[in-house]
Amino acid sequence: MSKKNILILLAVLTILGGYLGIRMYNKPHVNVAESDPDLVLFSQTLLDDFESDEISANEKYLEQIIQVTGKIQKLGTANGNGTITLTNGTSIGSVICHLSEKENKKMVSLREGQEIMVKGICTGYLMDVILINCVLVN
Amino acid sequence: MGLAHGQEKYITKQGYISFFSHSPVEDIKADNNQVLSIIDTSSGQIAVSLLIQSFIFEKSLMQEHFNENYMESHKYPKAVFKGKIQDLGDLTADNKKVSITGELTIRGITKPIETTAEIKKMDDSIILNGDFLVEVKDYNIKIPSIVANNIAKTIKVSFELVHQPYN
């Protein structure tokens, strides 16, 4: 290989490496709306799992995209984004779904007592199970 | 009695806590809008807990490194503060400066902490605002030398907690 070809090869590799580096640095956040859920279950099952054994529930659910079906107990907002509290009414705890910014406009169509399906990322359990970046599933 | 006791407790499940790291290379910020905080106004006791994975970064790669490498959030999913607001007294709609002492647990390591904050009562809400500094080394957080210049040794933590009556 001539010196010129080696230089061209090096230049191409550098540009490619730089491009991949920048792409990785700017890697987008997980798009929940376009991702298939890792787990599909009732909100109550999710809550029961955390209430009975938080450590194993963390192993199973943390950072996973979870789709839950549950009854709306309360609709609210947190720092401008909609929140949906799902519960069956008998537990003290609940599953709190924090909607992604794009989903906010769908809040107006929701009513307390309605049964819905929500998909989001589980970040853990405080008094309630928390799902963030949530989208409504039709 | 039970009712009176209940009215002394205030809670938020959607408190805001952010942290900020300044370095010559870059500024890094992350926000958490799912903070749980409970204040008992009769004793001044306060308990705050949050989920590490609820911190949102602008760059998902940073969020990934933060969770997997630095905070090990699968192993230590929460940070918890338990403490006391000193001389809480009567609250008004005007901000009042208070000192807070307590213990902060991050990555299973508990350290004493002392800070000042502003507190006020608007309508039915008790609003607590402030910030404090956390030394990265206090919590045994290991930053690889390759990014040591990108991440500050001291992180500023800011909080804004709007509590409602707990019933």
d(CA A95, CA A79): 18
What is the Rg, in whole angstroms, of the alpha carbon atoms belonging to chain A? 21
pLDDT digits (tens, 9 = 90+) for A78-136: 888 999 999 987 888 999 999 999 999 999 999 999 999 999 999 999 999 999 999 99
pLDDT digits (tens, 9 = 90+) for A40-54: 999 999 999 999 999
Please report the pLDDT score of residue A22 as a whole number.
85
Closest to A132 (Cβ–Cβ): which among B36, B54, B78?
B54
Neighbours of B164 (CB within 10 A): 13
Residue B95 distance to chain A (closest CA, Å): 21
Residues with Cβ < 8 Å from B34, sequence gap 6 or more? A78, A96, A98, A123, A126, A130, A132, B13, B14, B15, B50, B51, B54
CB within 8 Å of chain B, chain A residues 3-42: 24-30
Domain A39-137 has CATH 2.30.33.40: no
Token output for B137: 């080394």
- ipTM for the predicted complex: 0.89
* Domains defined for chain B, CATH in brackets: 2-165 (2.40.128.110)
Determine contact, residues A121/A95, Cβ cutoff 8 Å. no
Q: Give the residue extent of every domain in chain A.
A: 1-29, 39-137
User: CB distance from A101 to chain B under 8 Å?
Assistant: no
